[in-house]
Amino acid sequence: DADVTQTPRNRITKTGKRIMLECSQTKGHDRMYWYRQDPGLGLRLIYYSFDVKDINKGEISDGYSVSRQAQAKFSLSLESAIPNQTALYFCATSDLVRGSSYNEQFFGPGTRLTVL
Amino acid sequence: GNSVTQMEGPVTLSEEAFLTINCTYTATGYPSLFWYVQYPGEGLQLLLKATKADDKGSNKGFEATYRKETTSFHLEKGSVQVSDSAVYFCALHAYSGNTPLVFGKGTRLSVIA
């Protein structure tokens, strides 16, 4: 079984709809992240969470919200989807390695979201 | 702030050609540096890493050397294969406790037979 799973894998929705993307991990990591990927723009960080009680905005948080329901679950919501939120969304996890600068991230397979 | 700049693609090479993808960074302190690869239809996965100056990371025939004097971490492979076709991302982690990875914009590589 995959260590980082995302549901759904593909979603087509309409402008104005509320959408939730879910991420689960079995790696036991404290840290979780949401990114979006657009052609030519690479990966951009939306939100990240270093533990269940910690939520931080990333580079492009406007129009998005998150919920860290448990150590293993981190959901991304689009309260009112708009067409320019059409993108590939990735969840990632990493472990806290105290006293180290090494911080490998493990990525899920991605969710392709299309907003019409 | 911390940032990563990598060469724009797409890069198209013939099989067995030499590959270089340039990556330079700006960071305070002594960051760790990474190359991630994204194969078609998949998420990113770590390709190689280097955590201090002059370290060389290597994996699957790819290499990159952490050059502090030129703030660079260029990715190289002596002989690419069609299966190396993917998007490659350079990234850094600036050691300041609680910061996420910073990614470059990615370079798409296509290898043709």
For residue range B8-44, list pLDDT tens digits in order: 889 999 999 999 999 999 998 888 999 999 999 889 9
> Residue B88's closest CA among B42, B21, B43?
B21
Q: Tell whether B98 is within 8 A of chain A (Cβ).
A: yes
Please name the member of A43, A101, A109 whose beta carbon is closest to the beta carbon of B42: A109
Q: What are phi and psi of A34, to 5 degrees?
A: -125, 130
Question: Is B39 within 8 Å of chain A by CB?
Answer: no
Cis amide prior to B31 (ω within 30 degrees): no
Query: Which CA distances in Å does A100 have to A96, A103, A104, B80?
Result: 9, 8, 11, 33
N-to-C CA span, chain A: 33
Strand partners, A66: A76
Tokens 């850094």 belong to which residue?
B92
Q: Is B53 on the interface with A (CB under 8 A)?
A: no
Q: How many CB atoms lie within 10 A of CB A72?
A: 17
pLDDT tens digits for range A43-96: 999 999 998 999 999 999 999 999 999 999 999 999 999 999 999 999 999 987
Mean pLDDT for chain B overall: 93
Average pLDDT of span B82-111: 89
pLDDT of residue B5: 95
Q: How confident is the model at residue B100 (pLDDT cuts 50, 70, 90)?
A: confident
Q: Dihedrals φ, ψ of B83, to 5°?
A: -70, -10
pLDDT reported for residue B9:
85
Q: For residue B97, what pLDDT is reported?
A: 57
Per the CB < 8 Å rule, is B30 touching A43?
Answer: no
pLDDT at residue number B94: 81
Write down the pLDDT at residue B8.
85
Q: Is B105 on the interface with A (CB under 8 A)?
A: yes
